[in-house]
Amino acid sequence: MPSVCLYFQVHQPSRLKRYTFFDIDQVHGYEDEEVNRQILNKVADKCYLPANHIMLDLIKEYGGNFRIAYSLTGVVLDQLEKYRPDVLDTFKQLAASGCVEFLDETYYHSLALLYSPREFKEQVLMHREKIKDLFGYTPQTFRYTELIYNNDLAQMVEKMGYRAILAEGADKVLGWRSPNFVYQPAGCTKLKLLLRNYRLSDDVAFRFSDAQWSEYPLKADKFAQWIHEINAAGEVINLFMDYETFGEHQWRETGILDFITNFPREVIKHPDFRFQTPAEVARTYDPVAQLNVPHHTSWADMERDLTAWLANSLQRDAANSLYRLESLVRRTKDSELIRQWRILQTSDHFYYMCTKWFSDGDVHKYFNPYASPYDAYINYMNILDDFSGMLKRPEGKTAERRPAAG
């Protein structure tokens, strides 16, 4: 009996203020609270609130046969608590339904594992506690930032007690194999690996409103038919995408909310199909094979690797400079300085510095609040300059805190 596994990433970074050379040693507040509030309100009203109400209605309508999963970063949870508790309440209602799984990841949606296993583990534990506190739920499934994955990550995650891990079903990893089965990570004995069917996922997340696409317009019955055709050639169809797909990336006017409303009915018209969460999939199916992934993969861009964040010298310099500060940060034992350092770890800051302007250029420009990747780098390094200066400044010599220039 094949399963459809729907997983949604929910994330909004804490955006940084415009920070000039003249602010260094003068201004020590880096987060743009007003922009964070404005963007969260916009996305909440266009996506989170209407989509959550749709999901709650679907769960009620199908009596628990509709099941979904979310990964909410610690950064977006902090913003929801501060600015939109009404939206957070709807996520709590989803948690209470018993039909929703919440996944674990690093609290700050960071690249920490690439630089500091200690920091990685601490952020994961922070996230686990946050999910437990807010939703009364202890996560069983793990997904790393933007589905970054390799063998080493899987082995670490297994030791941390998780039952399943998500990754991109990249062709360069699978070869002739199908993403529509459960695998076991190389070097693991218990952990199950669920792979994103990127073709079907991207049909919704990226191609849905493309009038030039040969399958446009995409309706729920057509999409469900494609899924049903996998019946004899797979056990699970993993549809993983940004939650912002529903109303923000794909506007309501495209019909995306009608699509997701009608989708469950069209899927379960076929008696052999059902919806399951990642943890349920991991319990239901045995691995068909071990999968060896020695190099990092992700769901980003055409390359599906780390180049969205660490391809160029700007990105690598910024990341190396940030993580070199770890010992100094920890020595301060100052909770606010540690929090600021972690806010600067959020992967979006490095994504904004991406200089790939070919097949993926439009994607990077769409999500980039800076005029260019170079502006993003200069702004970030100015902040890092000031932050490192604070760490080295003798106690009591900190400059007066005041707002950054607009």
The CATH number covering residue 175 comes to: 3.20.110.20
Q: Which of 256, 291, 326 marks a domain boundary? A: 291
Please tell me whether residues 157 and 238 are part of one structural domain.
Answer: yes
Q: How far is residue 195's CA from residue 174's CA, in Å, rounded to a whole number?
A: 10
Please tell me whether residues 208 and 250 are part of one structural domain.
Answer: yes
Q: How far is residue 346's CA from residue 341's CA, in Å, rounded to a whole number?
A: 10
Please tell me whether residues 150 and 195 are part of one structural domain.
Answer: yes
Domain count for the chain, please give it. 2
Q: How far is CA 100 from CA 81, 167, 318, 363, in A?
A: 20, 19, 37, 30
Please tell me whether residues 195 and 75 are part of one structural domain.
Answer: yes
How much is the pTM?
0.93
Please tell me whether residues 208 and 136 are part of one structural domain.
Answer: yes
Q: Which of 258, 291, 324 marks a domain boundary? A: 291
Please tell me whether residues 56 and 115 are part of one structural domain.
Answer: yes
406: tokens are 């607009």
Please tell me whether residues 336 and 271 are part of one structural domain.
Answer: no
pLDDT of residue 405: 46
- 326-364: per-residue pLDDT in tens? 999 999 999 999 999 999 999 999 999 999 764 444 544
Residue 400 lies in a domain: no
CB neighbours of 400 closer than 8 A, spacing ≥ 6?
Answer: none
Contact yes or no for 282/274 (Cβ under 8 A)? no
Q: How far is CA 375 from CA 308, 350, 359, in A?
A: 17, 12, 22
Whole domain around residue 378: which residue ranges? 309-392
Helix locations, 269-372, DSSP H: 278-284, 307-310, 313-323, 326-332, 335-343, 348-351, 361-366
Residue 81 lies in a domain: yes
Please tell me whether residues 332 and 230 are part of one structural domain.
Answer: no
Please tell me whether residues 272 and 318 are part of one structural domain.
Answer: no
Please tell me whether residues 265 and 325 are part of one structural domain.
Answer: no
Residue 341 lies in a domain: yes
Dihedral sign, Cα of residue 201, residue 278, residue 295, residue 312: positive
Least confident of 154-158, 305-309, 342-346, 361-365: 361-365
Please tell me whether residues 200 and 235 are part of one structural domain.
Answer: yes
Residue 42 lies in a domain: yes
Residue 401 lies in a domain: no
- 370-394: per-residue pLDDT in tens? 999 999 999 999 999 999 999 987 6
- 90-141: per-residue pLDDT in tens? 999 999 999 999 999 999 999 999 999 999 999 999 999 999 999 999 999 9
Please tell me whether residues 286 and 314 are part of one structural domain.
Answer: no
Residue 302 lies in a domain: no
**Residue 180: closest CA among 146, 220, 230:** 230
Residues forming the active site: 146
Residue 198 lies in a domain: yes
